[in-house]
Structure 1
Amino acid sequence: MIRFDTIVSLRQHLNTLRQHHTIGLIPTMGALHEGHITLIEKAKQENDVVVSSIFVNPVQFNNADDLARYPRTLEEDCQKLEAVGCDIVFTPSVHEMYPEPVALRLNFGELETIMEGAFRPGHFNGVGIVVAKLFNIIQPDRAYFGQKDLQQVAVIRRLIRDLSFPVELVRCPTIRETDGLAMSSRNRNLTSSEREQAISLFQALTMARELLTEGYTPEQTKAAVTGFFNDRVSFRLEYVEIVNADTLQIAGEVLAPGQTAICLAAHLGKVRLIDNLVF
């Protein structure tokens, strides 16, 4: 595996490969877990060269404390990437990616007004900017993102469409711990007690899916999930929504198989957790 810290050196290396090799990109912010590894493995199956980036992107954080708490395990991450067969890792500094303050602003329409967009103003602007920069720098054929960040997937899909990036977006299933908790870099910040309680997110999603399957309306189901978390005082539910899994528009009824998504976000202690189920 080759590690690059600068845009110029990475571009020069990829220019020698691009003519005869397909390139798969997995953008990450580090603190890698098995979910990231499955993205690398999927990319290796479908591309000649696999590139992963590790960059904690300050532009997508609207909370300075959240940025400061985000786990940083760069050397351990590089070892994991090399072990799984990643070809190239891009580990730029903040100054390398943003030598000057970013003046550009991206607006993703209605995606900015619901769920993550409503509770994290400016977040998707930052996501869009860094992903657009990575697409421009690396020029991948395919880019791999996990379903756990379902709204982010929708944002990247719109970025690719509206800016005509020649990139295929590949959405990969959420990888879970044995008890159902979605793997996340933020899980490292949970205390042992909080980690035991965190399973409640998956339990709430499973309950919601069962209720919808039994014929409950989305509004009735959302009320049940809200009551579920009201009984768990360690949690502060931020939102629960039932949406179209592709467009993220609010769903008034259960859609065709694979098109309905239950999405939620909740605070547990100092950690903000998100999860979803598509069914």
Structure 2
Amino acid sequence: MSDLAATEKLLGSYLKDRRMKLDPAAFGLPTERRRTPGLRREEVAQRANISPTWYTWLEQGRGGAPSADVLDRIARALMLTDVEREHVFLLGLGRPPEARYQKNDGVTPRLQRVLDALDPSPAVIRTALWDVVAWNRAATVMLTDYGSLPPEQRNILRYIFLDPRARALQYDWESVARFVLGAFRVDAARAGAAAEVERLVGELRRVSPEFEAMWRDNEVHGAHGDGVKHIRHPVIGRLAFEFSTFAVDGRTDLSLVVYNPATPDDAERIKSLLDKQQRPQALDDARR
């Protein structure tokens, strides 16, 4: 059996297994006179708006390579979780699905503990729309205090273009702003969040002439997984960071960005500043 045939068989077997685990009653479908558990193939095909014959062939491992759109519709029809949907894409296309925007108010405690363990490297978790939903103490001290901002203002584009502190922090603000905007375009397009992007972009175009001009330039930057960032910190001076962007397992809509101090000296200066800021807090806690 060829690799392609084996993959098609795995996909078909998985789709069949998921279909047979669904309860027809939960979809308002009659449950009597069903010879096998789960939904019928034609019921899944109807929910996915595809041909019943083709869906049958997919389950039988002879339907050919489905498109990402078809796999997405089948995933919705089968009520797959995000992890199950990713598995279907890996079986059907050999790659995970593109990031899909979800409205996020935070992350799991496990992810927050991962961020906290990265000190003194500033680290944040952002959505496809570059809303920051989690951060560690080093990010608060080195980048900006996201916790002091209202949730709707914890957006990297808003920070770069509207906050004077962002300009003071950067050595070449315009280059950074263009880079951020070009990378944002790519992430937002992948996420399929047109309505949310339109609202954010519309607001920034109205209040920032520089954003308006850069947005009209239509630049995109796809290779933004890693690089070097220089900042001018108001207390400890110039610092360099090697930054890397990572996918969050099981959450294609989130990215982890880590700014690793480029030299041991930079790391020690950050540690020293974090320690100094922690000591007054510890004294306050002891007095209570």
TM-score, with length taken from structure 2: 0.27
The structure that is strand-richer by fraction is: 1
The structure that is helix-richer by fraction is: 2
Name which structure has the greater RCO, CA cutoff 8 Å, separation 6+: 1
Which protein shows a greater Rg? Answer: 2
